[in-house]
Structure 1
Amino acid sequence: MPRPFPTARYPRLMIAASVLVVGGVVATAQADYSTPARTVSFEGETVRYHVMGEPDAPVAILLGGGPGFSSWNLEPVQRRLAAIGYRVVLMDMLGVGENERDTLKAPLAAWERQIEQVHAEVADDERVLLVGHSWGALMALVYTQSRPAAVERIVMLNPVDPERRGLSDLVVEIDNRRAAAIGDDDWPSESDWDNRIGTAGDMGVHARRQIGAALPSYFLDYRQGQRYARQFSERDFDPDLNVRGWSAYRDNPVGYATIRRWDVPIDFIGCRQDLLMPENLEALQANLSLARIEVLTGCVHFPWEEVPQQFGEALARVVARPAPGEGSDGP
């Protein structure tokens, strides 16, 4: 029987919101971006970002999960969007990976300003498509709340709903999936999940432990998730930043009433077996008029790797732009 885990005081590794297996290839070394970084000045420092797609294509900004997790692992999604016809921006958020900072005060506000700065650099005043995976979907809503006229459309990939209803049982769900896959051997202690610096000891060791213990539960094939987790290092995840990001959002969430005031279509792509399903989709449908809904089978949280063909077809249906003079079958 799966061992019940004590009630968690902090979100458990929502970094899985941004991880995937690149090309279905198992790798044991840490991966990284395959494209050269571009830079933009941001509040006296340099922010690195990566672009794929034709220079004159409409711009999409791809936002990864976490918070506090790197984004190089979203390159397959970036590549698909570029093939569909977008110029796609992907970057590590401030505080982690290429854009690591020694200290980052008010992370949610800093991330919002970071997106705004890169948006202006790449697209000037052009409206953009925001594609956000899991936590990244919330980050898309946070950005749109301050600049709704700058956003053409939002695509939510296995999102966390704005009121975070689906998170209530996430801890137990992760533990149950892990126990079902590998039993009780090497079960993590409660302290392994405590992201506070004062109790975590070496945060690098702590980050690697969380990645290895929780990330595989976000794959339908648990062993595939274990293999994939080996690509990540402590540079890819900041547990303390994860906690502070979630806390900042809880203090200032984006409400459904606010979202309904925007003239911004919102699409949903998710896996039927996702850890946050069906609660998140039910909450979104009860409160918003979603433009398009695609529910995929045979995957948990990373459909571009678990069911790549099914995911690619769904993504194309949702974001493909009609040719000039042609009509559109959706908002």
Structure 2
Amino acid sequence: MTVLTDDGVRLWAAARGRGEPLVLCHGGPGLWDMSGDVAGMLGDAATVIRWDQRGCGRSERCDGPWTAERFAADLDAVRRHFGLERMALLGHSWGAQLALDYALAHPERVSTLVYVAGTGIDPVSPWHGRYQENFLARLTEVPERAARWRDLPNGDPEQAILRWSADFADRERALELAERMADPWFGINFACNKALNAETRNTWGTPGLYAACRRLDVPVLIVDGARDIRPRSAVDSLERALPRVRRVVFPDAGHLPWAEEPDAFRAAVVAALQHESPGRRGVTRSAVSDSRKSE
């Protein structure tokens, strides 16, 4: 179905399942929704709404604008299209950042935030170098894949698949799982990617952002794969700031924990949607502000 934004851009969206609404925010920036498996595993616990961000995937090609504020407004257009007063949000990677941005701007419209494989709120530079090192180390475990990746141009589907294969802890299945991400293939919006990543570098790590997170009165579940090549310590800043937060770390998962720990991932998300403890299959810890401890 088509969602029309307030500036006239058409966004692709789809809904399945039953129960309270859960809106997914995909990663990138500049990619498209790849969370069909997530929608399938949660469809008996929530009405799962997927959408492609502007200029990406099945949504209308446009010239932007590529800003977090504009993308949060597009997410609100999705909310209005489906007639939702409040919704749970599940954001993955860049989409976790988008979901957090939205919750900070509109906490009254968010029942729960599930923050999956994001990169926290500290400045980008301290962790990004280690991410690049981890990426190259994992990719070069199979030298011929690394050589092939270097030979291919940016935007080539095979190059993307080889890059994404480094996101999985299960090295035997990594290429198969990355190929699944690329099917179907819609192309990468590099203008979107460049602009939003630049905005993140300029705005993350500010005192105002830390203060806003400390005031966020929304329950948050942070979900990590311990073997994500993006250092998980980058998320510590967000965990420290949030007053109502639980964190689950799956020891044997990478950047897409639902692909490698599907049962545990589903259990953790369903528990968050039902405002219960996420369970013990991952490494779990929680923090609740003093004003909430009596609840």
State the TM-score, normalizing by the size of structure 2.
0.81
Per residue, is there more strand in 1 or in 2? 2
- Pair 1:123 & 2:83 matched: yes
C-alpha displacement at 1:321, in angstroms? Answer: 5.1
What residue is the counterpart of 2:273 in the other structure? 319
C-alpha separation in 2, matches of 1:154 and 1:70: 20
What residue is the counterpart of 2:26 in the other structure? 64
C-alpha displacement at 1:234, in angstroms? Answer: 5.5
Instruction: Check whether the contact 2:215–2:242 (CA below 8 A) recurs between aligned residues.
Output: no
What residue is the counterpart of 2:287 in the other structure? none
Which deviates more, 245-254 or 165-174?
245-254
Choose which of 24, 35, 43 in structure 2 pairs with 1:82: 43
- Pair 1:309 & 2:272 matched: no
The aligned runs of 1:88-237 (5 Å cut-off) are 88-124=48-84, 126-163=85-122, 164=124, 165-182=126-143, 186=147, 188-189=149-150, 206-208=155-157, 210-231=159-180, 232=182, 235-237=186-188
C-alpha separation in 2, matches of 1:283 and 1:82: 32
Structure ranking higher on relative contact order (CA contacts 8 Å, 6+ apart): 1
- TM-align CA RMSD: 2.6
- Pair 1:266 & 2:229 matched: no
Q: Which runs of 5+ in 1 are unaligned?
A: 1-37, 193-199, 323-328
C-alpha separation in 1, matches of 2:146 and 2:134: 18
Choose which of 196, 206, 213 in structure 2 pairs with 1:245: 196
Distance 1:160 1:185, change over 3 A: closer
- Pair 1:44 & 2:8 matched: yes
C-alpha separation in 2, matches of 1:330 and 1:237: 47
Distance 1:321 1:266, change over 3 A: closer
Number of residue pairs matched by the alignment = 271
Q: Which runs of 5+ in 2 are unaligned?
A: 277-292
Letter paired with 1:295: V
C-alpha displacement at 1:51, in angstroms? Answer: 0.6
C-alpha separation in 1, matches of 2:172 and 2:67: 33
State the secondary structure of the residue aligned to 2:254. Answer: coil
Distance 1:180 1:63, change over 3 A: same
Distance 1:225 1:239, change over 3 A: farther
C-alpha separation in 1, matches of 2:266 and 2:134: 27
What residue is the counterpart of 1:288 in the other structure? 242
Distance 1:228 1:273, change over 3 A: closer
C-alpha separation in 2, matches of 1:118 and 1:320: 23
Letter paired with 1:239: F
C-alpha displacement at 1:136, in angstroms? Answer: 0.9
Runs of 4+ in 1 over 6 A off after TM superposition: none
